Amino acid sequence: MSTVRNQAVLTAMQQGLHSCEGCGLLSRPASGGHEGRCPRCGHELTFRKQASLQRTWALLISAAICYIPANILPVLTTTTAAGAESDTILQGVVLLWSPTGWPLSLIVLIASVMIPLAKIAALAYLLISVQRGSVRNNEQRVRLYRIVEIVGRWSMVDVFVDTFTASLVQLQPLMAVEPASGLVFFAAVVVLTMLAALSFDPRLIWDPSSSKEVHYA
Amino acid sequence: MYNQALPDSSLIGCPHCDLLQRLPALEPGESARCPRCNEELWRRKEESLQRPLALTIAAALLYVVANAVPMLGLTVVGREAFTTVFGGAEHLWYAGWRSVAVLVLFTAVVAPGLQIGLMLAILVGAQWKRPPRWVGTLLRFHPRISTWSTIEVMILGVLVALIKIADYAKVIPGLALFVLGALIFLVAAIEASFDPREVWERVEWAEKAAKDAVSGKQMEGMVR
């Protein structure tokens, strides 16, 4: 469609209304106030998530820092009669690779190595584009945000693989598997990126476009 | 300080782009999307309280079974070992990996339990014509807990672990694994059949509950 809608696009914020994140109720803050409480569910209200950009950046940078030791340090140590051997996430992927086991190996590679990295890159792109006041590709950017929200939890998979391998393979003195220090950093990456996605406010993507009077539909 | 609600509750701001709009009246099965960012704003469900209640009771039973029976085991040269979901976290804790143990316990046991338990309480409370204030509190808290409930991810993790271990030992998938598999579908069905808006429209408001508490205290004072 290339028709020009001549009406202004109005957001709740432009009308001085709080849209509740908890229950969806629209309400008006007391005269001139910026903060308030939702009369229906009691949630603390602000126009946008508080300090969304700063918080998301802080969590994202922490995640990026933890991503390095998470991939360099071993996540599992296997002790057998022949000695101890430690594997990083990538070595685990390689070990799992076989003519029959390659699909699972691929899943671990995507979930543990690629998803966290893609998530960090995607959120950084969203943050930078919001800070530059970009008005382009809004639909794609909000779609990207939704994908980040949905896919993020799957990077937990390696935490569970290592947890249950370690708790099951306790066959001393034949063989014992224990977690190693990389797992802590890896778990931190997963949690930090999930928190970063939660603290980002997707409404910020649209704010620069909303302030324009004419909306091209 | 409580905000002042608008007289018309069908007026909303899109949670993903803040566009001010009016929700249309929907028939069961229909859904409304934001014209600007395409976010699904509301989907009206048929029997949006009875169906999820039945599913949630079933899920609660499966949850108890899933956490009571072994999830996977192995046998190698005459020795056997079994572990439960909780046992995985417990082992990490005693091996000294406490932060990871807490994360596993929270995402695999506590969060799914709360997700099912809170939903059960919400649905029971919503049977009232005017659901009490605590229903609203739980309903607000519920999506935040669901984010951290990752049973489906754990199942995938366990399957990968099984195949890894299968290289050097005979692995035995436990009953809990199958029960958890069924639980994933039940939880998804609960989310798909429940309409939070239906409860929000009837629930007792926080503002009113606060006012009642204050006037109750004043009455008490007058009696004294």
Distance from CA of A87 to the nearest CA of B (A): 13
Query: What are the C-alpha distances in Å from A128 to residues A54, A59, A114, A205?
Result: 12, 15, 21, 10
Quote the minimal CA–CA distance from B101 to chain A in Å. Answer: 8
Q: Percentage helix, strand, coil, to 5, in chain A?
A: 55, 15, 30
Which residues of chain A have a CB within 8 Å of the CB of B82?
168
Q: Rounded to two decimals, what is the model's pTM?
A: 0.90
pLDDT, one tens digit per residue, over A67-117 is 999 999 999 999 988 888 899 999 989 988 888 878 888 988 999 999 999
Q: Dump strand ranges (E) for B99-214.
A: 170-173
Cβ contact, residue pair B164, A96, below 8 Å? yes
Nearest residue of A to residue B208, measured between CA atoms:
A39
pLDDT in tens, B81-133: 889 999 999 999 999 999 999 999 999 999 999 999 999 999 999 999 999 99
Q: List Cβ neighbours of B26 (8 Å cut-off, separation of 6 or more).
A: B32, B42, B43, B44
Please name the fold of domain A50-209. Butyryl-CoA Dehydrogenase, subunit A; domain 3 (1.20.140)
E strand or H helix at B76, and its extent?
Answer: strand B72-76
- Chain A nearest-CA distance from B214, in A, is 15
Give the range among A1-10, A55-64, B23-32, B155-164 with minimum mean pLDDT. Answer: A1-10
Q: Which one of B11, B18, B39 has the shortest CB-CB distance to A13? A: B18
Measured at the alpha carbon of residue A98, what is the angle toward residues A97 and A102, in degrees to the nearest 5?
A: 60
Which of B37, B154, B158 faces A206 most closely, judged by CB atoms?
B37
What mean pLDDT is reported for chain A?
89
What is the model's pLDDT at position A2?
37
Find the mean pLDDT for residues A179-199.
Answer: 95
Does position A1 have pLDDT exceeding 50, yes or no?
no
Supply B37's token pair: 């960012």
**Cβ contact (<8 Å) for A170 and B197?**
no
CB-based contact B91 A206, cutoff 8 Å: no
B1 in helix, strand or coil? coil
DSSP state of A25: -
What value does the mean pLDDT take over residues B156-173?
88
Q: Can you tell me the ipTM of this complex?
A: 0.89
**What's the confidence (pLDDT) of residue B111?**
97
Q: What is the mean pLDDT of residues B63-70?
A: 95
Task: List Cβ<8 Å contacts ≥24 apart for A93-102.
Answer: A95/B164, A96/B160, A96/B163, A96/B164, A101/B163
Alpha carbon distance B85, B104 (integer Å): 9
Q: What is the pLDDT of residue B81?
A: 85
pLDDT at A54 over 50: yes
Query: Residue A33: pLDDT above 90?
Result: no
Cα–Cα distance measured from residue B123 to residue B112, given in angstroms and rounded to the nearest whole number? 17
DSSP state of A156: G
CA distance A152 to A175: 33
| Cis-peptide into A173, omega within 30 deg | yes
Boundaries of every domain in chain B: 8-44, 47-212
What is the mean pLDDT of the segment spanning B201-221?
80
CA nearest B68: which of B101, B97, B109, B105? B109
Partners of B107 on chain A (C-beta within 8 Å) are: 156
Residue in chain B lying closest to A202 (CA): B16
Region B50-77: what's the mean pLDDT?
Answer: 94
Residue extents of the structural domains in chain A: 1-47, 50-209
Tell me the C-alpha distance between B110 and B150, whole Å: 10
Nearest Cα of chain A lies from the Cα of B224 at a distance, in angstroms, of 31
Question: pLDDT at residue A213 above 50?
Answer: no
Which positions in chain A touch B206 (Cβ < 8 Å)?
A: 37-42
pLDDT tier at B77 (50, 70, 90 boundaries)? Answer: confident
Q: Do B206 and A38 touch (CB under 8 A)?
A: yes
The DSSP-derived string for A30-92 is STT-S-EE-TTT--EE-SS-TTHHHHHHHHHHHHHHHHHHHHHS-SEEEEETTEEEEE-HHHH
Q: Which amino acid is at A55?
A: R
The answer to whether the CB atoms of B107 and A142 lie below 8 A apart is: no
